Homo-oligomer: A and B are copies of this chain.
Amino acid sequence: MANFNFFAPTQVVFGKGAERQTGALVKAQNCRKVLLHYGGGSAQRSELLDRIRESLRTEQIEFAELGGVVPNPRLSLVYEGIELCKREQIEFILAVGGGSVIDSSKAIGYGVVNDGDVWDFYDRRRQASACLPVGVVLTIAAAGSEMSNSSVITKEDGGIKRGYSSNLCRPKFAVMNPELTMTLPHYQTASGCTDIMMHTMERYFTNNGGNMELTDGIAEALLRTVMKNAVILHRDPNNYEARAEVMWAGSLSHNGLTGCGNGGDDFSVHALEHELSGMYDVAHGAGLAALWGSWARYVYRDCLHRFVKFAVNVMDVPAGADSEATARKGIEAMENFLRSIEMPVSLRELGLSLSENNLRLLAQKCGIATGGTKGSAKKLHEADMLEIYRMAL
């Protein structure tokens, strides 16, 4: 196995009514003024924001507000948030929402305490030296941003979606009440479950420096748990236990735990998908579902031992003498699972009808965003990326 670092310092407060502790958690951070950052619709409708405001007032915490974060969060709102925080002398950002709101908060946090254009970090020009502290009240189980070191922002000019990762932005606390996710439409729940699984699978399918049995065991348990509970939520969206299993899986899937000892992640499917949702604004999890099978069929022979292990331990495929056949059955089983929760397994099912020129542009942009190559299960160049997009049509 490979050497590794693990650092997941976020204080998690999990369960029914957890959001009532928000004010006290912010107060414990010793910050005088907070930016309350959130999205457009459902959070406001659910009165959650009113309860958070009340919780802050109870602790006599001053706050400014910035709403309007959209899925695939925009750089323009990040700039607006940075200006607001500087003007109001904000010391802490409280994200109320899902991955988009949290990622926007992290980007604002970088922008407030580092000089120059915050996009530089996302555009791989330089590294941040600090980040304003961020706390989270989570309303969607998906991105894992509530414990992760990652933030993904979309620059409207050119539809460029880029991620920047650094331990500086890991949230100080995450308030997670699974009940808050019960009102999500099925498509968002299923997209979230897909994203959660992909965060573990991107770490599972690796060819770098061996693997760790304990990490594999945890990853496999997480994948089986999410699949089982995604199916339950498909027919019973108000099932608290299933909501809770998925929500906690979302955090553990992307806080680093499921990659320990693997010597580097793959994250090719994420890279391929970022170009899709940057250009066409599709739901990230659904985009991952539409691409995964094509990616897997393109790379599995180069990472056969892992695809066989996945097929047997996660998808319950009987281990056969023909390893390639076993691996392919695992891939088919995963696609069948995705279909069972009404996720797309092709670009067409995702609602996109793309020309060869569209595909070439996606591959070209993915090549630029990844610096030419991406992947650990198989190293992908631009030509490989194009071929996977074609297979996914």
A9 and B6 in contact (CB under 8 A), knowing A225-B214, A248-B260, A248-B261? no
A16: which B residues are within 8 A, CB to CB? 3
A2 to chain B: closest residue by CB: B15
Shortest CB distance A175–B (Å): 11
On whether the beta carbons of A217 and B224 are closer than 8 Å, the reply is: yes
- In the complex, whether A8 has a CB less than 8 A from a CB of chain B is yes
On whether the beta carbons of B5 and A244 are closer than 8 Å, the reply is: no
- In the complex, whether A4 has a CB less than 8 A from a CB of chain B is yes
A17: which B residues are within 8 A, CB to CB? 3
- In the complex, whether A392 has a CB less than 8 A from a CB of chain B is no
- In the complex, whether A297 has a CB less than 8 A from a CB of chain B is no
A3: which B residues are within 8 A, CB to CB? 14-18
On whether the beta carbons of B7 and A213 are closer than 8 Å, the reply is: no
Q: How many residues of A contact B (CB 8 A)?
A: 40
Which residues of A in the span 72-91 have a Cβ within 8 Å of any Cβ on B? none
A246 to chain B: closest residue by CB: B214
Shortest CB distance A177–B (Å): 9
A1 to B229, CA, bound (A): 14
The interface bits of chain A over 217-231 (1 if a CB of B lies within 8 angstroms of the residue's CB, else 0) are 110111011001100
Shortest CB distance A227–B (Å): 11
- In the complex, whether A96 has a CB less than 8 A from a CB of chain B is no
A6: which B residues are within 8 A, CB to CB? 11-12, 14
- In the complex, whether A65 has a CB less than 8 A from a CB of chain B is no
Which residues of A in the span 14-47 have a Cβ within 8 Å of any Cβ on B? 14-18
Looking at the complex, which one of B4, B213, B214, B244 makes contact with A15 (CB distance below 8 Å)? B4
A257: which B residues are within 8 A, CB to CB? 257
On whether the beta carbons of A14 and B8 are closer than 8 Å, the reply is: no
Binding site for B on A (CB under 8 A): 1-18, 210, 212-214, 217-218, 220-222, 224-225, 228-229, 241, 244-245, 248-249, 252, 257, 260-261
